[in-house]
Structure 1
Amino acid sequence: MSSTQATQPFRFLDLPGEIRNNIYDLLLCSWEDEVEQDPTMSSKLSRRSPSNPSSSLLRANKQIYAEASDYMIKRNQFVRITCRGLDSRNLFLGEGIPVITTDARKVSLFDGHVMHITLSKPAFAPSPFQFSEFEIMMLRSDLPKLCEQLDIESVMADANSTTSEHASINASIRLNYAHTRFFTPKIQERLLEPIASSLRGVPDIKISGFVDAALAESVRNQVAQPRWTEPDATIEEIGTGVDVGKRQWQQNNFYSASESWAYAMRTLERMRHSSSWIGLQKAGGEDFVNKTADLYFTLNLFHAQFLQVDMANDQSQGPLVQRNGRVAIQHLRKCETAAARFAQHAGATWTPSNQQSAKMLFRHARCLRLMRDTANSVRAVTLIEEAAALAPTDIAIRDEKDAVLAWEAELEEARRLLAEQSQASHVERRSIWSSVWDAVTELTS
């Protein structure tokens, strides 16, 4: 009798509904607080893993599957995000954004999401690359962090290189009718709130599915608003990043300073290529555009300055020095063209001061010297002499001038010795051939 009782299956469905829901919650809706890096994902994303992975429960029988999957979907509220024609590497500002998976096949096969967000570049927008479709499945509870870190301005920069017009990213939101038709407006609002709070500069976002009309219109209006509206506040925001970086640099926190400047530069670039720019330019006038150009010059100069820290380190390997040097020169070229760029596209009248120009020339000359770019040593001398003429009392420039002239003198000496060796070798070869010819002549005479 006891043997018969022991082999009888456990009658899970006989448990009270509240207990079954608690079990579903524990096994299907509990997630680890800590996210983990996954090498198969973008570096900006991290995996959110279930605490007690027990998907086998869904395969027990049809009734349990229906009940458990319904509870899991409503409780977790999965959100699917599809990105088309966008560079996913530049789509997010920060790191550690929790997602469940980016496996396109798994995402496409799972229809248990309550909301599907699609972001795409307009077909007419130019792009040097054709990026493949990128899929994300995540929890609704993690959606606010993703929306806060979403950078739709950077991925549209190539389509908005001028200020005469602005192309917006295409965005659509579809609530899954199968799972949301019983959702109250309050739950719908909770689903859409991260988008309404963080997404900006998209004038024609499409919202479909079973959603309250007034709520959808409110979200559309919020998302259509420009991200930056006050010229002075925008300049102050970027300028604060510059000043924080300066203080960190003075404290020898070079990498922290670089991060502050990089964030300020990204903010400036995002603002410059966003729908906000035209309004800011009109409100702030020429003064705003000139201040923006000045910040653009300054931040590129600081980036070159940071890259030369490792270049000047005696322990740095050659490949690192060359890579940093190439990137630093790219930033310095942006400094060189800053005035013309902003004058052409935004009517700026700003030009760099003598001190700014001197620093740019100094950094360029130093870069060529640290790279040991012998082919451009004469140019390095010209650059540092121009810098010294613009800022004759700058100690750093005077010291670099001495270093560049000493380097050029070494190279000139090496060239002289090489020329002498070449000449001696040439004379020796002529002497040998002359002796051989004399011998041949003597034999034939």
Structure 2
Amino acid sequence: MTPQPFRFTDLPSELRNRIYHLLLAALEEPEDFSTSPLVTVPKTITRAKHHVQTSILAVSRQIHAEAKDVLHRENKFVKFGATLAMPNVRVLKSLIKSKRVPVFTTDRTVMDRFNGHVISYALLERPTDLPKSSFYCLISHRHLDLFCRGLANAEIATPGFWTNITHTITLCAPYQISPSAATSHQGNLVAPFCRHLRGLHAVLVRGEIDHSLATIVAERLKALVSEDPQIILENLAALKEAGNDFFRQGDSRMCSESWARACMEIRRVRGGAMWKTLTSDPAFARDLTELYFILNLNLSQNTIKNMEGHSNHPDLVAELANSALIALENAFEGLSDCHSYWQPSDAQMAKLWYRKSKTHRLCSDYGDALQAITFAENLLPDDAMIQQERRTIKSRMP
């Protein structure tokens, strides 16, 4: 029997669209770091990996029309550019790396030649005494949500980050959209900004967008979120308890993630415009400050446990030690303008110095370890664990 030719157009439209997607719009997802013992930030920006096969566009008029629709609908691009003070550019890059946002290119020359984007998003900082630097990247619109989630942490990383920065969001129309669907399409394009960004000081929304929608988006991005102090504390307590449960189960990564999220949320509240209003309640300021201290102590304890489990990997131990010491420093410094509301007890401070000593000892920094355990001993001279730690350090000193 003579083989019959396969007719691609006889396939159901759902299957044809799936094939078009695989050929024209598929992106490889970033590497999964979920098995890492602790939450880590990559050293470089994640590169988008894609393999577009455009030859199917030349098969027939019908296939060309169908495939072109998928190509345009699913390959939406966003141009991003920022000209800021150099320290702020470093923060910005760190936020993008931390969310592992896939980036097609950071070459401005390449981006200037490309006109197939649906959004241009620009950050411009007003003149300062600090030297300026620029950063550009091209991302897929499907990752704009992830990108904006990263930017939402800017005020956590640097309180007041947005104060002198103007955000310009420009919608473009590289391909035709029917007038009846235009407003809905524009709303979908800007939705990630509205979901994640708040409290911006200066926002311009322009281009191929309905004027009333542009006004609504700009006002929403500038609006402050009114926060209930009781709900804040309840959410933080839930994250703390979730971390405790993971710690008891031996899930180091998830307990660190829960406690770190709680600490980030506290820093977000601390850097927000509602901070002065919230801390007008002494009970809230007291509870938040104590919780921040305890969370950072917990993070240090979990990291020390990981150090002990990786004693044969000195490079990893050194990296973990840095994380533990940062957590202890955060606990020590706390929320500086809330010290009048709450101070750690001698027992809590002894625990901090004990963990600092243990961190240094595991890195063979015996001089620093001995100094830290001496501070702990001065606070709790009869504590058995502190005395044992002193003996361990002494036995290993040259």
Q: Please state which band the TM-score falls in when normalised by the shorter chain.
A: 0.7 to 0.9
The total of aligned residue pairs comes to: 365
Match of 2:206 in 1: 208
Equivalent residues of 1:364, 1:383 under 8 A apart: no
The Cα of 1:329 is off from its aligned counterpart by 2.9
2:230 is the alignment partner of 1:236: no
Tell me the alpha carbon deviations over residues 250-282 of structure 1, each in whole angstroms, 9 at most, x when there is no partner: 122222211221222222222322334344335
Tell me the C-alpha RMSD between the 2 structures.
Answer: 4.0
Q: Following the alignment from structure 1 to structure 2, what is the Cα–Cα distance between the partners of residues 104 and 28?
A: 28
Structural mapping, 1:126-141, within 5 Å: 131-139=133-141, 141=142
Equivalent residues of 2:198, 2:220 under 8 A apart: yes
Task: Decide which of 326, 333, 336 is 2:329's aligned counterpart.
Answer: 333
Structural mapping, 1:53-64, within 5 Å: 53-54=53-54
Match of 2:110 in 1: 106
Equivalent residues of 1:201, 1:276 under 8 A apart: no
Q: Following the alignment from structure 1 to structure 2, what is the Cα–Cα distance between the partners of residues 252 and 188?
A: 46
The Cα of 1:49 is off from its aligned counterpart by 2.5
Task: Flag the 1:288–1:48 CA change in 2: closer, same or farther, 3 A.
Answer: farther
Task: Flag the 1:265–1:55 CA change in 2: closer, same or farther, 3 A.
Answer: farther
The Cα of 1:320 is off from its aligned counterpart by 3.8
Structural mapping, 1:275-354, within 5 Å: 275-282=273-280, 285-313=281-309, 315-338=311-334, 341-343=336-338, 348-354=340-346
Tell me the alpha carbon deviations over residues 309-334 of structure 1, each in whole angstroms, 9 at most, x when there is no partner: 23334733444444433443333233
The Cα of 1:104 is off from its aligned counterpart by 3.6
Corresponding residue SS for 1:133: strand
Equivalent residues of 2:354, 2:373 under 8 A apart: no
Equivalent residues of 1:35, 1:46 under 8 A apart: no
Structure 1 segments (4+ residues) deviating >6 Å: 65-71
Task: Flag the 1:371–1:97 CA change in 2: closer, same or farther, 3 A.
Answer: closer
Uncovered stretches (5+) of structure 1, i.e. residues with no partner: 1-18, 59-64, 415-445
The Cα of 1:249 is off from its aligned counterpart by 0.9
The Cα of 1:116 is off from its aligned counterpart by 0.9
Structural mapping, 1:68-83, within 5 Å: 72-73=71-72, 76-83=75-82
The Cα of 1:111 is off from its aligned counterpart by 0.7
Corresponding residue SS for 1:361: helix
2:243 is the alignment partner of 1:245: yes
Task: Decide which of 117, 122, 126 is 1:118's aligned counterpart.
Answer: 122
Match of 2:6 in 1: none
Structural mapping, 1:27-176, within 5 Å: 30-32=24-26, 34-37=28-31, 45=46, 47=48, 49=50, 52-54=52-54, 72-73=71-72, 76-85=75-84, 86-87=89-90, 88-92=92-96, 95=99, 97-98=101-102, 100-124=104-128, 131-139=133-141, 141-147=142-148, 149-154=149-154, 157-158=157-158, 160=160, 167=163, 169-176=165-172
Tell me the alpha carbon deviations over residues 384-435 of structure 1, each in whole angstroms, 9 at most, x when there is no partner: 313434xx5xxxx513422313532664xx6xxxxxxxxxxxxxxxxxxxxx
Corresponding residue SS for 2:189: helix
Task: Flag the 1:78–1:374 CA change in 2: closer, same or farther, 3 A.
Answer: closer
Q: Following the alignment from structure 2 to structure 1, what is the Cα–Cα distance between the partners of residues 74 and 248?
A: 51
Residue identity over aligned pairs, in percent, reads 22
Q: Following the alignment from structure 2 to structure 1, what is the Cα–Cα distance between the partners of residues 27 and 386?
A: 52
Task: Decide which of 364, 367, 372 is 1:375's aligned counterpart.
Answer: 367
Task: Flag the 1:258–1:156 CA change in 2: closer, same or farther, 3 A.
Answer: closer
Tell me the alpha carbon deviations over residues 225-251 of structure 1, each in whole angstroms, 9 at most, x when there is no partner: 234622222222222222111111112
Task: Flag the 1:281–1:226 CA change in 2: closer, same or farther, 3 A.
Answer: farther
Q: Following the alignment from structure 2 to structure 1, what is the Cα–Cα distance between the partners of residues 97 and 227?
A: 20
Q: Following the alignment from structure 1 to structure 2, what is the Cα–Cα distance between the partners of residues 326 and 404?
A: 22
Aligned partner letter, 1:305: Q
Q: Following the alignment from structure 1 to structure 2, what is the Cα–Cα distance between the partners of residues 295 and 171?
A: 34
Q: Following the alignment from structure 2 to structure 1, what is the Cα–Cα distance between the partners of residues 343 and 150?
A: 34
Equivalent residues of 1:366, 1:404 under 8 A apart: no
Higher-Rg member (1/2): 1
2:389 is the alignment partner of 1:403: yes
Tell me the alpha carbon deviations over residues 114-159 of structure 1, each in whole angstroms, 9 at most, x when there is no partner: 22112344443x87x86541312313x4433433x23344367445
Tell me the alpha carbon deviations over residues 346-405 of structure 1, each in whole angstroms, 9 at most, x when there is no partner: x7411113332221122123233333333345524422313434xx5xxxx513422313
Task: Flag the 1:188–1:381 CA change in 2: closer, same or farther, 3 A.
Answer: closer
Aligned partner letter, 2:144: L
2:348 is the alignment partner of 1:356: yes
Corresponding residue SS for 1:403: helix
Task: Flag the 1:244–1:173 CA change in 2: closer, same or farther, 3 A.
Answer: same
